Structure 1
């Protein structure tokens, strides 16, 4: 038998340890809820992935093209290479845009936009020619950035032809024909609208000797592409002041001149 001292020790030990702790209420319930939520997330994610990539609901059925002027929608669709039946979510719109610009240089900018649930729209902006380069009975179109982007058999209405009259030494070596071309583009862009409609040729002799030939035979010495806005305003005023003149010089816009009748 245990003596009184042993009994006292047991009593004191029980007082220190206290009554047995009951299980924490709700712990397993929270774990079950967390597991259920995780399973729900997995199921929903799997369903979304299947809907976007595996189902037949969100797939390309039509490719719409807008903004074309010279190009046809069929040409753009062919170059885009978007296959019907492809999941919309899997389309790489950046790659489509890059492919269109590479295959169709006439395209300046293009935006490929998904049109849920079954389409993709290609919004195209074509380059506009401001100058033409004659080449073997054909014409190379040049845009406002000096980019040669297309060759056509007939000159577009209202677009002047570039005429080279470069010396064998000097200008071409110093500036290069590409820079001279860009300078001619600057001139063509700056010409007043009313004059631009009648301009037949832009003649380049050197960097600072660029002139225009109009449909009725009148000529304009423009000079370089610098101070284009001032030259445009001066030429408009000069033509109004001397309507019978045949030659105009605005190469120095503060000292314009006209001659002939």
Structure 2
């Protein structure tokens, strides 16, 4: 008589099949306790940031000021001292500062936990001055007139807009005073450092007739603001080659000229 087959022996050895394991069930009590813990944790966080006295604005610090004073910046910012630090709208403070203090070119407002707001200011630097009524309007490298001062800052040249009488009407129709001012700013920004220190006046007669008055009764015919780098390099070389010259012409940088009279 034949014995049990291999499959039958395996069934006998392993015994009856086991029932499938059921997934662990989360007890309602555990779920409720977890939800309560989450709610309490969230409420505690809200209270910590908004309701407690631990994370409120106590100090406002400033940095980067040169002409402005820290007091002027803090007063213009009007940061909400005593308010929750997390609720401070930094964009609002930045816009307020730029609107109230035109001398400010850019500003970063940052929260410094747990109690401080820091105002990092970058002021505009004048590259040209416009004399008006015995005072001086400061113009920055973007052509923005941002402040009026009683005394001319040292080392900043005057801007003179003196349109050529013969071509004044047509020149101003094509290029208004704002455009001509931007051209003068572009020229001032291209000057070599040594020339920049000696420049007293940037004179604009038209778009392509800009000249410089330097210390020592020296003048430079610059032409338009185009090819500024080439003109700057040519002027530096020309001044070294003719140190006693009083008049320089770099309006065409490939054909410069100089003279003693």
TM-score in terms of structure 2 length: 0.88
Match of 1:157 in 2: 154
Pick one of 113, 118, 131 that aligns with 1:121.
118
SS in 2 for 1:77: helix
5+ residue gaps, structure 2, are 1-21
Paired residues for 1:1-261 under 5 Å: 27=25, 29=27, 31-166=28-163, 167=165, 168-260=168-260
Query: CA 1:25–1:188 in structure 2 vs 1: closer, same or farther (change >3 Å)?
Result: closer
Q: Displaced runs of 4+ in structure 1, greater than 4 A?
A: none
Match of 2:12 in 1: none
Distance 2:140 2:257 in 1: 30
Query: CA 1:145–1:25 in structure 2 vs 1: closer, same or farther (change >3 Å)?
Result: closer
Q: How far has the Cα of 1:26 moved from its partner?
A: 5.4
* Number of equivalent positions: 237
Distance 1:243 1:149 in 2: 37
Query: CA 1:169–1:32 in structure 2 vs 1: closer, same or farther (change >3 Å)?
Result: same
Task: Give RMSD over aligned pairs.
Answer: 1.2
SS in 2 for 1:169: helix
SS in 2 for 1:213: strand
The superposition leaves residues 82-139 of structure 1 with CA deviations (integer Å, 9 ceiling, x where unpaired) of 1321110000001100000000000001000001001010000000100011110001
5+ residue gaps, structure 1, are 1-23
SS in 1 for 2:251: coil
Q: How far has the Cα of 1:35 moved from its partner?
A: 1.9
Which range is displaced more, 213-222 or 164-173? 164-173
TM-score in terms of structure 1 length: 0.88
The superposition leaves residues 174-227 of structure 1 with CA deviations (integer Å, 9 ceiling, x where unpaired) of 111110100000000001110100100000000000000012110001111111
Q: How far has the Cα of 1:32 moved from its partner?
A: 2.4
Distance 1:194 1:33 in 2: 79
The superposition leaves residues 30-59 of structure 1 with CA deviations (integer Å, 9 ceiling, x where unpaired) of x32222222111111111111111111101
